Structure 1
Amino acid sequence: MEETTIPFLTFYFTDYTTYYIPEDPVIDPNTYNAVKILNILIYSITFILGVIGNGVVIWIAGFKMTKTVSNIWFLNLAIADFVFDVFFPLQITEWIMDGHWPFGQAMCKVIFTALFLNMSVSTTFLMVISIDRCTSVMCPVWSKNHKTLKMASTVSIVIWSACFILSSPYLAFFDIIHDSNSNISYCIPIYSDSDGVDEGQYKAMLITRLVIMFIIPFSIILICYSLIVIRLRRRTHSKFSRPFKVIVTIVSSFFCLWFPFHLWPFLEYMNVEISATMDFVMSHIVYAIGFFNSCVNPMVYAFIGRDFKKSLVKSIPFLLESTFQEKIESAEPSSQNMVETEEMTTIN
C-alpha cells in the first residue's frame, strides 16, 4: 500500500520537515485517516460538551447569582474553558482540510496563542480552587475573615495577566508556511528563522510549559487535597466516602488528562527512539485527551459533589446554584460541630 506524508502537525512542537519530506513518505494513509477521524470526533464532542457545560456555568455564576469568592473562581475557570472550546471548529476544519489553514497569518498567531493562554488560565484556576478549599477546611474562621471579593478579583486579574505573558511567545512562534508544490498554507509552530529548530527556544518552552502547567499545579492540588483528607479523617473519624470520592476524581482527572499531554514531548526531548508513525499517532492523541479536560471541568467541579439521583429531577440552573452558593453565616462558628459541618460542605 502506498504511504503518504503528513504535511502538518497541529500543536506539535518540532520541525515540520520531520514529516514533510515529499520524496520520503513515512505515514500510512490508513493510519492518517484513522487519526484524522478520531481527532475530529474528540474535538467535536469536546466542543459541544464544553460550550454547553461552561456556558451554563458562566450564565449561572456570572448573571444569576450573588457574587462570592467561590463564584469568581468558577466563573473564571468556565470563561477560560469556554473560550478554549469555541476555537475547536477551526481545528476541526483544519483536520477536514488535511492541514490546510485558510484563515490567514493573523488568525494563526492569535487563535493558537489564545488556546495556550486559556489552557494555562484553566490549569491555574484549578489550582486556586484547591487552595481555596484547603484553607476553608484547615482554617475556616481565617478563611471567612480574609476571603473578599476584591481579593478574588485581584487574584483573577493577576492570573490572566501572568498567563498572557507566559503565552505571548506563541505569537512569534506560530506562523504560516506555504507548500509551493500544492499551493497550500499550514499554521504550525516554528522555533527558528531557518529550516531547522532552535533547540534552545524549543526546550525552554517545553520545560516552562511542563513546570507552569503541570508540575506546580498538580503538586499544589495533590498537597491541598491530601491535607483536606487528613483533616477530615481526624475530625469525623470515618471514611466520609462522598468527599473522598470527589477528591479522588478531581486529582485523578487532572493527572490522567494532562500527564500524557506533557509527557510525550519529553520523550523526544530525552531522545527516546520512536517510529514516525507512533510519534504521529500519539502526539495527536495526547493533545486531544488534554484538550478534553476543558469540557470535563464543569462536570467534575459542578456536578460530582451532589447526589446524582436527586440532580436528575432538578433543573441545571438549580443544580449549579446549589453547587456554587456559599452559606452566609451571621456569626462565627461557635462549636466544633459547626466547623465539621462547614468542612464537609466545602468538599461536597
Structure 2
Amino acid sequence: MENTTTFRLSILRNSTQPPSSYDSKEKQILYIFSIIIFSLTFLLGTSGNGLVIWITTLKMKKTVNVMWHLNLATSDFIFTLFLPFTIANTALNHHWPLGRYMCKLNTMLINLNLYASVLQLTVISIDRCISIVYPVWCRNHRTPRLASFVVLAIWILALVFSSPFFIFRDTHSFNTKKTYCIYKFDGDNLRSEVASSREMGLLVTRFIITFFIPFTIIVSCCIIIMFRIQRNNMAKTSKPFKIIVAVIISFFVCWFPYQVFALLAMSVKRTKDNCLKHVIAVGYPLARSLMYINSCINPILYVFVGQNFKEKFWRSIHSVFENAFVEEYTKSYCGVENVIVASSNV
C-alpha cells in the first residue's frame, strides 16, 4: 500500500519520480534524462518560437496564416519559457521551494499553453481544409479580423480548461522537510473516493480535449486535403503530402504515449501488478518528455517549411548583418572624414 501511494503521489505531482521501491540508480537515470530533455526543449523551444515571433511580428504582413503561426509560436514560447521551474523541481528531487501560489500558477500556465497549442494546431488544420474545399468563401470571409476573434476564443477556452489545474494544485509536505507541488482533489485526503473521481474526471477530460477530438479533426482534415489535392492535381510534387503526413505522425507520436500513461496511472491503485507499476513509472516520464518536445517541432512543421517564411528569415538575417557592417563602415568613414576636415582647418 505504501508503494502504491507513493507512486500515485508521483503521478499527482505530474513529475517523473518513480516509486521508492525502485532502484535508486534507475531513478537517477530518469532524473538525468528528464533534465536533459527539458533543458533541450527549453533552449530549442524558446529560440525557435522566439525567432518565429520576431519574424512574423516585424517582418511579415499580418495575414491569417501569419496570425495562426504567431499564436502557435506564442503559446509554445510561453510553455517552454516556464520549463526552468520544472527543471529546477526535478533537479531538487521534486522539492518545491517557491510557495503555494507559484505552485498553482506554474502548473496552470503550463497547461494553459498546452491547451492553447493543441487548439491552435486543430484550427490550423480546419483552416487549411476549408481553404481548399471552399476557396470562394475563403476569399470573401477569411480575414485577419476573423482570425483575431478565433485566436481570442482559443485562449478563452484554454483558460477555462486549464482552470482546474490552478484550483486543485497545491503544496504539501509528507512528514519531511521537503515540500511537494501536487494535486489535492479532496483537500488533504489524497486517497478518498472523491479525490479519485475528480482525478479520473480531469484526466479523461484532458484526454478528450487535448488528444481525441483534436487528433480526429486533424486526421480528417488531412485526409480531405490529400484527396482534394490529388483529385485536382493541385500539387506538382509530393511535398504537400509529406508535410501532411509529418503533421499527423508528430502529433500522434508526441501526444498519444503521454495520454495513455496518464490514464494507466489511475489503474495502479486497483492492481497489485508490480510489472505494470514499473512500466508506468518508467514510461510516464519518457512520454512526458516526448510531449514537451512537440513545442519544438511545431515551428519546423508549420512555419519553417513555408517558402514565404524562409525567404523572410534569410532576408532578415542578411539585413541584420548588412546593417551592422554598414553602420560600422559609416562610423569609421565619418571619423576619418572629420579628422581630415579638422586638419585642413588648422
Partner of residue 255, structure 2: 258
**Matched-pair identity in %:** 36
TM-score (norm 2): 0.81
Asked whether 1:127 is paired with 2:122, we answer yes
Compared CA separation, residues 55 and 34, structure 1 to 2 (3 A): same
**Structure 1 match to 2:173:** 178
Question: Match for residue 333 of structure 1?
Answer: none
Query: Hey, what's the Cα distance between the residues in 1 that align with 2:233 and 2:142?
Result: 25
Q: Does 2:119 align with 1:137?
A: no
Alpha carbons of structure 1 residues 55 and 9: separation in structure 2 relative to 1, 3 Å = farther
Asked if the contact 2:55/2:313 (under 8 Å) is kept, the reply is no
Structure 2 segments unaligned to the other structure (5+ residues):
318-346
The structural deviation recorded for 1:179 is 3.4
Which residue is 1:13 aligned to?
A: 12
Question: Structure 2 residue aligned with 1:33, among 10, 28, 37?
Answer: 28
Aligned residues of 1:15 and 1:196 also touching (Cα < 8 A):
no
Letter in 2 for 1:118: N
CA distance in 1, matches of 2:23, 2:169: 27
Residue 337 (structure 1) aligns with: none
Shift of 1:306: 4.8
1:139-163: CA deviations, max 9, x gaps? Answer: 1121111111221111111110111
Distance 1:277 1:233, change over 3 A: same
Q: How far, CA to CA, are the matches of 1:132 and 1:207 in structure 2?
A: 27
Give the Cα–Cα distance (whole angstroms) in 1 for the partners of residues 103 and 14 of structure 2: 17
Q: Which structure has more helix as a fraction of its residues?
A: 2
Partner of 2:277: 276
Q: Show the counterpart of 1:167.
A: 162
Counterparts of 1:148 and 1:287, CA distance in 2:
37
Instruction: Note the C-alpha offset of 1:240.
Output: 3.5
Counterpart residue number, 2:190: 195
Distance 2:86 2:9 in 1: 8
Map residues 9-88 of structure 1 onto 2, 5 A cutoff. 12-13=11-12, 25-88=20-83
The change in CA–CA distance for 1:208 and 1:146 in structure 2 (over 3 A counts) is same
Aligned to 1:179, the other structure's residue is in SS state coil
- Report how far residue 8 of structure 1 moved: 8.5
Q: Is the 8 A contact 1:134 1:225 kept in 2?
A: yes
Give the residue type in structure 2 aligned to 1:210: F
Counterpart position of 1:331 = none
Map of 1:331-342 to 2, 5 A cutoff? none
CA RMSD of aligned residues (A): 2.9
State the alpha-carbon separation in 2 of the partners of residues 237 and 127 from structure 1: 23
Summarize deviations over 1:246-284 as a string: whole Å, max 9, x none: 111011100110010111122234557444333221111
1:74-132 CA distances to partner (integer Å, 9 max, x unpaired)? 11111100000011111111111111111111100001101001001000000101111
Counterpart AA for 1:13: L
Q: Distance in 1 between matches of 2:266 and 2:175?
A: 31
Distance 1:299 1:11 in 2: 33
Q: Which residue of 1 aligns with 2:243?
A: 246
Q: Report the more deviating stretch, 219-228 or 261-270.
A: 261-270
Residue 220 (structure 2) aligns with: 223
Say yes or no: does 1:211 pair with 2:192.
no
**Equivalent position of 2:298 in the other structure:** 297
Find the residue that maps to 1:110 and give its secondary structure: helix
Q: How far off is 1:192 after superposition?
A: 1.9
Q: Counterparts of 1:63 and 1:173 in 2: how far apart (Å)?
A: 40
**CA 306–315 in structure 1, closer or farther in 2 if over 3 Å, else same:** closer
Contact 2:219-2:248 at 8 Å conserved across structures: yes
Q: Distance in 1 between matches of 2:23 and 2:172?
A: 23
| Contact 2:185-2:198 within 8 A present in 1 as well | yes
**Given the alignment of the two structures, is residue 92 of structure 1 paired with residue 87 of structure 2, yes or no?**
yes
- How many Å separate the matches in 2 of 1:92 and 1:15? 13
Looking at structure 2, the residues matched to 237 and 254 of structure 1 have their Cα atoms a distance apart, in angstroms, of 25
Indicate conservation of the 8 Å contact 1:50/1:81, yes or no: yes
Compared with structure 1, are the counterparts of its residues 233 and 109 closer, same or farther at alpha carbon in structure 2 (3 Å cutoff)?
A: same
Tell me how far 1:19 sits from its aligned partner.
Answer: 6.7
- Per-residue CA deviation, residues 193-244 of structure 1 (Å, 9 max, x unaligned), is 2131512101110111011100111111111110111011111187841111
Corresponding residue number in structure 2 for 1:147: 142
Query: 1:53: Cα distance to partner?
Result: 0.6
Contact 1:14 1:190 survives alignment (8 Å): no
TM-score (norm 1): 0.81
User: Could you list the per-position Cα deviations for residues 290-313 of structure 1 after superposition, in whole angstroms to 9, with x for gaps in the alignment?
Assistant: 111011100111123559xxx6xx
Q: Work out whether residues 11 and 189 of structure 1, in 8 Å CA contact, stay in contact via their aligned partners in 2.
A: no
Q: Matched residue pairs, number?
A: 307
CA distance in 1: counterparts of 2:290 and 2:156, whole angstroms: 26
Q: Does 1:233 align with 2:230?
A: yes
